[in-house]
Amino acid sequence: MDFEPWWLIAVPILFALGWIAGRVDVRQMLSETRNLPDSYFKGLNFLLNEEPDQAIDAFVEVAKLDPETTELHFALGSLFRRRGEVERAIRVHQSLLSRADLPVADREHAQHEIAQDFLKAGMLDRAEQAFETVQDTRFALPAVRALIRIYESEHDWPRAIDAVKRLRALVDEPVPQLVHYQCERAQLAMSAKPPDLQAASEALDAADHAARALRGQANGQACEARIAMSRASLAKLNQNAGRERMYLESVLTAAPEYAGLVAADILELYRAAGQQVQGLELLKNHYARYPSLDMFNVVFRELRLQQGYSPAWEFAREALRAHPSLLGLDRLLEAEMSSGDTPAAASGVTPGADLGLLRSLIHKHTQRLDRYSCRVCGFEARHFYWQCPGCNSWETYEPRRLEELKP
Annotated binding site: 374, 377, 388, 391
C-alpha span between 323 and 15 (Å, rounded): 84
Torsion of CA 381, 384, 389, 391, to 10 degrees: 100
Torsion of CA 51, 53, 56, 61, to 10 degrees: -100
Q: Look at the chain and count its residues.
A: 407
Asked if 147 and 125 touch (Cβ cutoff 8 Å), the reply is no
Q: What secondary structure, in 3-state letters, does the chain show?
A: CCCCCCHHHHHHHHHHHHHHHHHHHHHHHHHHHHHCCHHHHHHHHHHHCCCHHHHHHHHHHHHHHCCCCHHHHHHHHHHHHHCCCHHHHHHHHHHHHCCCCCCHHHHHHHHHHHHHHHHHHCCHHHHHHHHHHCCCCCCHHHHHHHHHHHHHHCCCHHHHHHHHHHHHHHCCCCCCHHHHHHHHHHHHHHHCCCCCHHHHHHHHHHHHHHHHCCCCCCCHHHHHHHHHHHHHHHHHHCCCHHHHHHHHHHHHHHCHHHHHHCHHHHHHHHHHCCCHHHHHHHHHHHHHHCCCHHHHHHHHHHHHHHHCHHHHHHHHHHHHHHCCCHHHHHHHHHHHHHCCCCCCHHHCCCCCHHHHHHHHHHHHHHCCCCCEEECCCCCEECCCCCECCCCCCECCECCCCHHHCCC
Which of these, 112, 102, 113, 48, lies nearest to 80 by C-alpha position?
113
Rounded to an integer, what is the distance from CA 158 to the centroid of its chain? 19
Asked if 187 and 230 touch (Cβ cutoff 8 Å), the reply is yes
Asked if 151 and 177 touch (Cβ cutoff 8 Å), the reply is no
Annotated binding site for Fe cation: 374, 377, 388, 391
